[in-house]
Structure 1
Amino acid sequence: MNKDQVNGRVDQTTGKVKEVAGRIVGNDRLEAEGRAEKTAGKVKTVYGDAKEDVKDSAKRVIDKI
């Protein structure tokens, strides 16, 4: 697991908390901010997953040589 995956998951969780808190207190701006942060976290996580996949694939190729 790399730092992009970890940071992405943290951002997703933080975004979800903000989104729910905004919904509970009726703050549309906080809710929208939470959705945006959650989406950004998903993007970071996918990027981190891709980096990890490339690293693993490269390692397998090098191990075969």
Structure 2
Amino acid sequence: MSSMSRADRIQEGAAVRKECLSQVKNLLAGLNALGEHGPFGQRTPKQLPLTSSCMLVACR
């Protein structure tokens, strides 16, 4: 079993936070687009998934 160094844990945490912020940005963009219409006038549904790691970061 290998243990991560402190620097590796910090780097991994920063990468998770960066991905989480990217997902939140995409979520907000998707919410803004919910009112847009498709090419034939229909409402366009949006699926806005968030990963469990993003939710964990958001809940801290």
Alignment of 1:5-24 (within 5 A): 24=2
SS at match of 1:25: coil
Q: Which runs of 5+ in 1 are unaligned?
A: 1-23
Alignment RMSD, CA only?
A: 2.2
Residue 27 (structure 1) shift? 0.9
Per the alignment, residue 51 of structure 1 pairs with 29
Identity in percent: 5
List, as ranges, runs of 4+ consecutive aligned residues in structure 1 with deviation greater than 6 Å.
none
Which sections of structure 2, spanning at least 5 residues, go unmatched? 42-60
Instruction: Answer 1 or 2: which has greater helix percent.
Output: 1
Q: Once the 2 structures are TM-superposed, how far is the Cα of residue 29 of structure 1 from its aligned partner? A: 0.8
Residue-by-residue CA offset, 1:1-42 (whole Å, 9 max, x unaligned): xxxxxxxxxxxxxxxxxxxxxxx5141111100100101111
What's the TM-score, normalizing by structure 2?
Answer: 0.53
Partners of 1:37 and 1:53 in 2: CA distance: 24
